[in-house]
Amino acid sequence: MRAARTRATFEALCECLAACATREDRATTDFVDEYTGYDVACWAAKRGAGDSIRALCRGAASTSASASTSASAAMCAVVGASQALAPTQLSKASLGNGSRSPDDADVITETRARYEDALSAALSLRPGEIDAIDAVTGWTPLTFASRRAPTLGTTFMSILLEAGADVNAPDARGMTPLMHAAAGDSLDAARLLRSARRADVSPRDRDGFSAAMHAAYRNPSNVALLAILADS
């Protein structure tokens, strides 16, 4: 899957794998890359290939990750979006010979939409991965989306929240998604977490910091964010 350089080649390969898979023999689509820990669904999500994930659904791909898989398709979609929206990657995605800037609105909109679709498809294929935890950081997909909201926007968070993501899940350092939104100085992310699912402002991480304390440390002049995080 890593060797497929173009989107068209990758999607054609997924279609082929899905067509080969049967409910009696899922080895084709459940194969796990030993280097990354990704199976086919994870690779499709990482590349923002929502149609490929839906093809895997039709091909009877497993609705739960293999026991040897160290990643979730939902997390791969969010991480892949963050990487694809980095300025260097946006430059590669831009058309023409330097005539479009890395912050070209069309490129950003198309990239976000593609990965949002991939996230929705991943959650449809494997709803049980909604709160899958990264083995190293302890982050869930919502945690990552909250921390990267300045780059990703809040639609990824909305998709995860509507699917039932745990809004108060702590990571390995005891930080909740709201704390990460505060540490990232994202007013929109914090507002969404507080309004959509009433994220708790009272927890403290292992260093004794609350969400409000993270916000004050990051940007004490962001009065609107501090007001949202006030204990009430």
Residue type, 155: T
Q: What is the CATH number of the domain that holds 162?
A: 1.25.40.20
- Both 140 and 98 in a single domain? no
- Both 17 and 79 in a single domain? yes
Whether 161 contacts 84, CB under 8 Å: no
- Both 80 and 180 in a single domain? no
The C-alpha angle with vertex 163 and arms to 225 and 42, in degrees rounded to 5, equals 100
- What would the two tokens of residue 87 be? 């300025």
Model confidence pLDDT, tens digit, residues 92-122: 555 444 445 555 788 889 999 999 999 999 9
**Alpha-carbon dihedral 150, 152, 153, 159, rounded to 10 degrees:** -140
Give the CA diameter of the chain: 59
Q: Which of 78, 113, 129 is the last residue of a domain?
A: 129
Closest CA to 155 of 68, 61, 81: 81
- Both 26 and 72 in a single domain? yes
Model confidence pLDDT, tens digit, residues 135-160: 888 999 999 999 999 999 999 999 99
**Higher pLDDT pick, 22 / 92:** 92
Residue 135, CA distances (Å) to 70, 72, 124 in order: 7, 11, 23
- Both 114 and 146 in a single domain? no
pTM: 0.82
Model confidence pLDDT, tens digit, residues 37-74: 788 888 889 989 898 888 877 655 555 554 444 578 99
Domain that holds residue 197: 135-232
